[in-house]
Each structure stands twice: as C-alpha cells, then as structure tokens.
A and B are shown apart, each in its own frame.
Chain A
C-alpha cells in the first residue's frame, strides 16, 4: 500500500500544504509591507494616541476640544457608536415587534399596511435611506426661527431636535432613593400575589397597584422635598436655540434610518416566531379554558420568543455594523472620527484600521456570547 493512500498521511500532507501556502503568502505581504513602510517613511506604532488631535468634534458625550488627544477622539467615536446603536436598537425593537404582530392581525388593512412597510423598506439600501432622511427630509425642515413646536418645550428645525434637559441637583438623591424603595415594594407585592396564586389559585390584580406605587411614591417625595429636579428648556436666542438638549440632524437621520430598516427584519423574526408555534398549542390552551390574552401571554409568546430571539440578536449586531455608514453624513462615530479624520491626520492606516476592526470584532463577539447565553437559557428543559 502506497503511503499516498494512508489517510493519516494525506490529512497531514494537505494541512501542511495549506500552512506552507499561508505562511508564504503572509511572509510575502509582510516583507512588502515593511519595504513600503521604509520607503515611504510611514511612522508606525501606537504613539500617536497620546499626541494632540487638534480638531473639533461637533457632538461628543464626553468632553473634547482641540487640545485633546487622539485617544480621546477615539473614545468620542466609540461612545457615539454605542449611543447611536443603543438608541437604534431600542426603537427598532419597538417598531419591529409592533409591525410583526400587526402583520398577523385579523384586521385586513393593518396587516396589509405592515406587509407593505416591510417589503418596501427591506428592499432599499440602508445607505440610500440614511442619505434620503438626511438630505431630503431633515434638510427640508424650517430654520430655527420658524421651528416646528412639538409641545413640552421641544422644537424641531434644520439644526435638529431640541428637548428640555433634566438637571439633577443634590436634593434629587432622596427622590432616587424613593424610586428604589417603590420598586422594592412593587417586587414584594408581585411576589406575594404569585405565592398566593400558587397556593390558593386565587388571582390578585397587581398591575394597577404596581403602577400606582411606582408613580405615587416618587411623586409624593418630590412634592414634600420640594424639587431636586429642574429642566433646562431650550429657547430661541438670536438665530439659534440655546439650552436644552440637542439631537443633531445627523444623529436623527442615522437613528431614523437604522431603526426603520432594522425593524423590518425584526418584524419578520417576530412573525415567523409566532407562526412557528403549532396550532395545537393554541387549541390546547383554549381547551384548558384560557382566554385569548392568557393563551397568548402564557402559551404562545414564551414559545415564539425562543424562536425569534436569535435572529433578533443577529439584527442588533447588523445594526451596530450598519451604524458605521454614519461616515456618509458625517455623524462623528467611530469610523467617521477615527478611520476618517484621525487616519487622514496621522496617516497611520494600518494601526487605525486594525483598531477599528478590533472594536467591531469585540462588539460582535460580545453579542454572540450574549446570544449563546440566551440560547442556553431558552433551551427546552427536557424531563
């Protein structure tokens, strides 16, 4: 028997060939890289992180001015990416779940509207949607002096959305503590009601009590302590608004587009999850005497969620990755600030692209770890 027919040898040989090929390729590009770096006089290393950036960033959750370092610019980009992702995920989930349920509605009009929504927005590139919101819809908004009033001292104009900003003063601590106490009491009430239900089968309507507790206690404390929470309302001064909190048009366009686009995929996940629950489950619930609400909450949804959650979490990951398209409209998130401005100023392409990719990989890995954890939690427990 020839050695070529030996399985172990062949396995070893084929892998060896792959490894040799890969090493040769890596050696080739690395040597080219080193020569190129040498010839073009490109600086290497991560020293640039600590030098002064010397540019401004239009919106930043942490303090940043033109004397800050590149590392701080990196942090600004990263935190903007995270902010836009979290806000986008929040709204995408709400819209997605509503639309997913609406598609299965018995109401003809609403299920058709939901279908049209999904089929329309899902089939248009997200970048086109971002540019459309930014260049067409938001650019058409009036100037600050002719702002659209949204009530509650909020204004919408071509500089973005202005809302009152909550300012917490020292006295707020006591209100904060009262909220914690209210939550604790609410949990206690719910637990006791559940226990009573398990023992006697009698139900107590806890929902109104809980809501009352959560609203009344903090409100009562707020009234007797006399404040601690004030609002800084935006107001017009000259040609622009000052005070309050401002969401820039870039931010609005990005979150609008990301939530509307991702919501179509989430709604599909929700729909297929609900549709995947066998009809017999609903019939069994009905024959046990559960009403339609209870059959939905206790029987159908727990099974549907198990099917829907993995694709939904994948969509969250996609949303985070798509947030990088902000660079097309100049919202200062990671890719715009770091792979854009910082790269142009320092010219250290390799390090910067590597760091950017590492950040997204870390986010991806974190999300897939979360996914694995959820999958494990949701596994059907065998008897």
Chain B
C-alpha cells in the first residue's frame, strides 16, 4: 500500500504577488479602471495639496490679533483667541471653572457607572446624579453659586446640553409611545400613531418656531418659559417620536413566542414588556438608536434659527466681529471638525455596543 505524503503547496508565482501585482489587480485591472484611478488621483491632487498649504504650511498659529496673520493661509489665531466663546458662549469668564468641572465629572461618572455601581439601583442612582449635579453647577443659584442666566449659555457647552437632554429625556417618552403604538387598545394606539406621524411629517424648524411663538400663548399670562427651556421641550418631544419608531422596529423583531412565554408565566402587561420584551428589543435597536441620536446631535444646530447661541451660532456671530473680518472659513472648518468628531465617535461607539450585545441567540 502506497503511502502518500502531504506535499506543501508551492508558493504563489512571483508574478502574482508584491505591490506591483496589487496595483495591477486593484487599480489598473481594466481600461476603465485605469481611467477611473487617474481621475481619482487627479481629484486628490486637486483637493489635498491646496488644503494642506492653506491649513498648515501657509497658516499662522501664534499671535494675538488679526494683523499677526501675515501668511496667505489659515489664521488659526482667530480660533485660539475665540476658543472660549466657541466652548462656553457668553458664560462669565470667572465662572467657567464650573463648566470645566462638569466636563471633568463626566469622565468620573463614566468610571463610577462602569466599575463602582454594582446593582441596578446603584447604576440608576449614579446615572441620575450626574445631570442634577451638572445642572446645579452650570445654572447656579444654589450653595452660594452665582446664578447664570440661560441667555449666557452658549457654544459647545450649549450644544452638548441640548443634545444630551434631548437624547436622555426623550428616551422614556419614546418607549411609552412605542408601547402605545403596539397596544391593543384602539384609542391609545391611534393617539400614539397620530402623534408619531405628525412629528415625523413636519420639519423640526417649524416645531421650533411653534415653540418660540405659539407655545407661550398656551399658558396663562405670567408663566414665562425660558427660551432655552422651550427649545428643549420641543426637541425632546421631537426626538421622542423618532425614538418610538426605532423601538417599534425592535419590538417587531421580537418573536411572538416571547410574548406568549411571558403571558404563560402569568406576568402582567408591564412586567412582560419591561422584563422580557424591552431588553431584547433595545438590544436589537442599538444601531438605530445611536443613529437617531447622531441625527439629533446634528439637528441641535437648528436652534441658531430661533436665536440660541450654540456652537454653530457662535461661529456665525464671531464672523461679524469687526476685528476679525474675513475669517469665516477658519471658524467653519474648526467646528466642522468638532461636529464630525462627535458624530463619527458616536457611530464607532455604536459598532462597539452592537458587538458587545450581539449574543446571537434569538
């Protein structure tokens, strides 16, 4: 009986590997590919070198005033001089440390939440303590802290306040609306559907207009809502409809057997929904939940139109500073980077969450 020995595979022919082969296969495979590749390269050379020249090589990085910017490129001095306005708006200079504490506390609380909070109750406590402490620190008026009017809030700080309030407060409302839409009770179902479809059918800007001109008429004379509070209410109600639709998608992905199993265990409606269905539905909806949160973060810029000074509005405003005329581009490029960074980081984070909770046992 012949004994066969396993022969190792021969190495690939030298003509089939190496960087030239890769270029030939991936960039120059067909005549069309050659044309497209060269068009692409031409585009890159058309865009990148001028931008690098403008942003780095010809740019001015140090200085105090506009006259220090002698190079033909970007004047980053503008950004470094206005940075506190971009981040804190009109927040009084000597009180800025309070906002910085809030920023720093964010990381402290993330660590507390992840490593210190053991039980569900502790986690909820930590999660709800942060907004309260932040509010006290930023708004002031307690513990001898000077009260800062919300009209002075602005910049990145305001953007983050609006985005986080919008994302967090709308969440429970969205869950209730999603339950309502899936409910067997006709009145509750139709009310939820009507609300969700109405909000999703109109642009946020019309809702914000409504918040700023119509909402005050709905309350008795003397009840004076803060401008920021009105915007927050509108944005939260707006976001709740979108969250509801995302969670409804998750609820629909849960097999009917889960509902029946919960029923057969004798759980009540709320026990069934909160303990069995919702945790599974939330897991399925993570990517879309982060998606609508990113959308909201981008939509916070719309408060510019009703006269709040978020990050974008601050750039808009500093552009008209007579000492710094003609530096719009630097401002826009700078905040483009900030917005892009936050949104991209969130979308990466959603990938991490998705992997973490992907138990694949449905």
Contact = CB atoms under 8 A, between A and B. Distances in A.
Contact of A123 (B29, B40, B329, B347): B347
B217 interface: yes
B9 interface: no
A38 B200 CA distance: 32
Q: How large is the interface on B (under 10, 10 to 19, 20 to 34, 35 or more residues)?
A: 35 or more
A355 to B, nearest CB: 10
A115 interface: no
A110 B36 contact: yes
A124 B191 contact: no
B185 A325 contact: no
Contacts of A36: 217, 221
B304 A127 contact: yes
B351 interface: no
Contacts of B40: 107, 109-110, 113
Contact of B336 (A19, A124, A350, A360): A124
Given A132-B332, A360-B201, A29 B206 contact: no
A322 B203 contact: yes
B187 A128 contact: no
Contact of B344 (A119, A321, A327): A119
Interface string A168-202: 00000000000000000000000000000000000
B58 interface: no
Most buried by B among A126, A339, A349: A349
B61 interface: no
B1 interface: no
B316 interface: yes
B29 A106 contact: yes
A360 B206 contact: yes
B203 A32 contact: no
Given A107-B29, A324-B205, A125 B312 contact: yes
A339 B219 CA distance: 22
A120 B339 CA distance: 10
B205 A353 contact: no
B41 interface: yes
Interface residues of A, number: 52
Contacts, number: 145
A328 to B, nearest CB: 6
B156 to A, nearest CB: 13
B47 to A, nearest CB: 10
A230 interface: no
A124 B298 contact: yes
A370 interface: no
A48 to B, nearest CB: 15
Contacts of B33: 106-107
Given A110-B36, A364-B201, A123 B339 contact: yes
Contacts of B36: 105, 107, 109-110
B203 A135 contact: no
A15 B205 contact: no
A364 B200 contact: yes
Interface in B166-195: 184-188, 191
Contact of A127 (B43, B185, B210, B302): B302
Instruction: Please name the 4 residue pairs, one residue from A and one from B, whose CB atoms are nearest each other, closest first.
Output: A364-B201, A123-B343, A125-B298, A321-B203
Interface of B: 26-27, 29, 33, 36-37, 40-41, 43-44, 184-188, 191, 197-198, 200-206, 209-210, 213-214, 217-221, 294, 298-302, 304-305, 312, 316, 319, 328-329, 332, 335-336, 339-340, 343-344, 347
